Amino acid sequence: MGLAVAGRLSGRIAIVTGAASGIGRSVAERYLREGAAVVAADINAQGLKELADTQDVDPARIAIQQCDVADESAIEAVVQTALERFGQVDIMANIAQGGLADHLCLEQATAQHALASFTTGPLQSMLFMQKCLPAMRERNYGRIINVASHSALIGTPGFAPYEIAKGGVQALTRNASQEWAPYGITTNCVLPIVRTPAYDLTEQGRAAARVLEESIPVRRFGTPAQECAPVFVFLASEEAGYVNGQMVGVDGGFRLFA
């Protein structure tokens, strides 16, 4: 289709969720520079337009699609856009973050809060993965990269729904890595430590960010473009074909368990 350019991801087709800002935008930009065609999805339509307008790439290699990851039909539409526009799906980067506004302790968390976190966490990741599976299996090739958090292993007071959701993403990743590996599909999970806007929604969040930063050996948060996006490129590449079922910390040396 004339879409291939030089790069580690030349000729590959990627879906990137959460692509309007933060890590998602940095990953979408890096994938484009590495030669992939990208379907960029996010609920923020203006952010997607800005992403497309600022890229110095062939417009034929980028498609933007507004998507509420809590809506299964919207998820289906993103995958269909990739298939109709580019004919295949090789890379699925599940980066969209949702359900993070309610930083609540376990006692305060309601079923509604937990459901919101689950829907926009492991459930939407699972649905994107399922809808990409037939196309990946047909080509006997796929790279799935999910995003979770070290927080799911800590038990931080005030983050119960968030941590439940992120723990679910890690479990999902491990399961898919076993079930889908025979189809040439690897599934890995990135655990980044970056300062996201979600921390600033509440005083609890700001306090947690201060404590976390002091706990990182390099004493700072990571950067989405320079330090997170290259990891997503590697995991999406052919070179990572023997990396499967891993929780990859991009965390400045922050560790919970040996």
* Overall fold of domain 13-247: Rossmann fold (3.40.50)
Global confidence as pTM: 0.91
Q: Which residue has the higher pLDDT, 40 or 255?
A: 40
Burial tier of 211 (Cβ tally within 10 Å: 0-12, 13-18, 19+): exposed
Of 105-109, 118-122, 228-232, give the range with the top mean pLDDT: 228-232
pLDDT tens, 194-249? 887 767 777 877 887 888 888 889 999 999 999 999 999 999 999 999 999 999 99
Q: What is the pLDDT of residue 254?
A: 86
Higher pLDDT, 90 or 57: 90
Catalytic residue among 162, 183, 199, 242: 162
Report d(CA 79, CA 88) in Å as an integer.
Answer: 9
What pLDDT band is residue 99 in, cutting at 50, 70 and 90?
Answer: low
Higher-confidence position of 115 and 176: 176
Instruction: Report which of 82, 48, 81 is spatially closest to residue 66, judged by C-alpha positions.
Output: 48
Would you say residue 101 has pLDDT above 50?
no
What value does the CA radius of gyration of the chain take, rounded to a whole number of Å?
17
Q: Is 8 exposed, middle or buried (0-12, 13-18, 19+ CB in 10 A)?
A: middle
* Catalytic residue flag (residue 162): yes
Closest CA to 161 of 125, 116, 201: 116
Question: Who's near 125: CB < 8 A, 6+ residues apart?
Answer: 94, 146, 169, 172
pLDDT for 258 equals 34
CA dist 139 and 135 (Å) reads 7
How is residue 240 written in tokens?
A: 């990572």
What was the pLDDT predicted at 256? 57
> Residue 1: pLDDT band by 50, 70, 90 thresholds?
very low
Other Cβ atoms closer than 10 A to 170? 18
Given this model, what pLDDT does residue 196 score? 74
What's the pLDDT band for 4 if we cut at 50, 70, 90? low
Query: Which has more pLDDT, 257 or 146?
Result: 146
The mean pLDDT of the chain is 90
More confident residue, 225 or 155: 225
* pLDDT beyond 50 at 87: yes
Q: Where are the domains of the chain?
A: 13-247
Q: What local confidence, expressed as pLDDT, does residue 40 receive?
A: 98
Residues 56-71 have a mean pLDDT of 93
